[in-house]
């Protein structure tokens, strides 16, 4: 089994980004600036935002974090977004999800200027991506596509199963794998909680992307020999033996599946670090776009 080492590949990508930033600075241009909006104090969201900000420092980006109480109104949040849309010192920004229930997530995402939508969630970017046009691609599927490319995994004519149809992972992933291209051209099935006979689907797939959020759901008797398995899941599972009181589990039973397949992403160290690297890539691209 070949481990798809997202940690290593993401470091390579970050080093390339760092070099691009150094070149900008040498040419007397300011470095890219990523802003993040965080509403409330959800532990996982705080961890994700912390990682993103640390990665900005690592590549020489400027970063800003705007934190709000979970009782902020939808109107006030959208006002903040409008400020960021107009701020010429900020190249891209993200609104960390999930948002509190009283805030309409779609309305918030629609208010982001597509040119600064480095998460790629705005319909303008999503639509362009679906048409195979240049756009900001959501960071997690973008990171998975990069891993596939770096390890030169053959996708053409292969059957690819994506499990999970969220707008941020599963659905865009299914689109990217079906697009024309060297690392597309797959025959894609998109499964979800209403899908029947999932095991039949997993057993037939050459490539499986697991993005459902159920720890260790995919077992070795559900996968084809020598297939490629991408594990997007990140779930905190109580584990008293760990200092922090929990362990991070993916959607794949790594222990058993790793004995049967050809390529597999670990959790942690697979898709997670790639997601952050591609967010940085999108932010660099936004900065370069603003200069062109």
| Among candidate residues 174, 267, 172, 165, the one with its CA nearest the CA of residue 215 | 267
DSSP calls for 120-137: --SHHHHHHHHTT-S-PP
Determine if 177 is a binding residue for ligand NDP (CB under 6 A): no
Q: Least distance from C-beta 195 to ligand NDP, angstroms?
A: 6
Determine if 213 is a binding residue for ligand NDP (CB under 6 A): yes
Q: Taking the mean position of all CA atoms in its chain, how far away is CA 218?
A: 20
Determine if 271 is a binding residue for ligand NDP (CB under 6 A): yes
Determine if 7 is a binding residue for ligand NDP (CB under 6 A): no
Determine if 234 is a binding residue for ligand NDP (CB under 6 A): yes
Q: How far apart are CA 285 and CA 292, in angstroms?
A: 10
Active site residue 106: no
- Judged by CB under 6 A, the stretch of 35-43, 120-128, 268-276, 279-287 that binds ligand NDP is 268-276
Residue of 91, 96, 116, 206 marked catalytic: 96
Determine if 49 is a binding residue for ligand NDP (CB under 6 A): no
Site map for ligand NDP, 180-199, x if CB under 6 A?
Answer: -----------xxxxx--x-
Determine if 39 is a binding residue for ligand NDP (CB under 6 A): no
Q: How far apart are CA 72 and CA 225, in angstroms?
A: 50
Is the preceding peptide bond at 98 cis, omega within 30 degrees of 0?
A: yes
Q: Taking the mean position of all CA atoms in its chain, how far away is CA 277?
A: 9
Question: Under a CB-based contact definition with an 8 Å cutoff, are residues 161 and 195 in contact?
Answer: no
Q: How far apart are CA 212 and CA 156, in angstroms?
A: 25
Determine if 277 is a binding residue for ligand NDP (CB under 6 A): no
- Judged by CB under 6 A, the stretch of 25-33, 61-69, 145-153, 167-175 that binds ligand NDP is 167-175
Q: Which residues are catalytic?
A: 52, 96, 119
- Residues at the site binding ligand NDP, with contacts judged by CB under 6 A: 140, 163-166, 168-170, 191-195, 198, 211-214, 232-235, 271-272, 275
């Amino acid at each position: 089994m070949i481990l798809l080492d997202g940690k290593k590949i993401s470091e390579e990508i970050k080093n390339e980004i760092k070099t691009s930033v150094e070149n900008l600075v040498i040419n007397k241009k300011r470095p890219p600036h990523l802003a993040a909006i965080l509403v409330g104090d959800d532990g996982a969201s705080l961890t994700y935002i912390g990682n993103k900000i640390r990665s900005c420092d690592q590549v020489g980006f400027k970063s800003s974090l705007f934190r709000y109480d979970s009782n902020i109104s939808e109107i006030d949040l959208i006002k903040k977004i409008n400020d960021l849309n107009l701020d010429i010192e900020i190249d891209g920004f993200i609104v960390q999800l999930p948002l509190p229930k009283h805030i309409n997530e779609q309305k918030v995402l629609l208010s982001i200027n597509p040119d600064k939508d480095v998460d790629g969630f705005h319909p303008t970017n999503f639509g362009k991506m679906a048409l195979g046009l240049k756009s900001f691609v959501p960071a997690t599927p973008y990171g998975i596509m990069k891993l596939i490319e770096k390890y030169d995994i053959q996708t053409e004519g292969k059957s690819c199963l994506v499990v999970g149809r969220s707008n941020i992972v599963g659905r865009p992933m299914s689109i990217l794998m079906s697009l024309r291209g060297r690392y597309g051209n797959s025959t894609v099935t998109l499964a979800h909680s209403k899908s029947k006979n999932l095991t039949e689907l997993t057993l037939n797939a050459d490539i499986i992307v697991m993005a459902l959020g159920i720890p260790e759901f995919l077992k070795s008797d559900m996968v084809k020999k020598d297939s490629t398995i991408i594990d997007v899941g990140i779930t905190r599972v109580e584990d008293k033996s760990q200092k922090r009181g929990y362990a991070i589990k993916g959607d794949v039973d790594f222990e058993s599946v790793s004995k049967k397949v050809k390529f597999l992403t670990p959790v942690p160290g697979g898709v997670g670090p790639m997601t952050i690297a591609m967010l940085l890539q999108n932010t660099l691209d936004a900065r370069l776009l603003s200069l062109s």
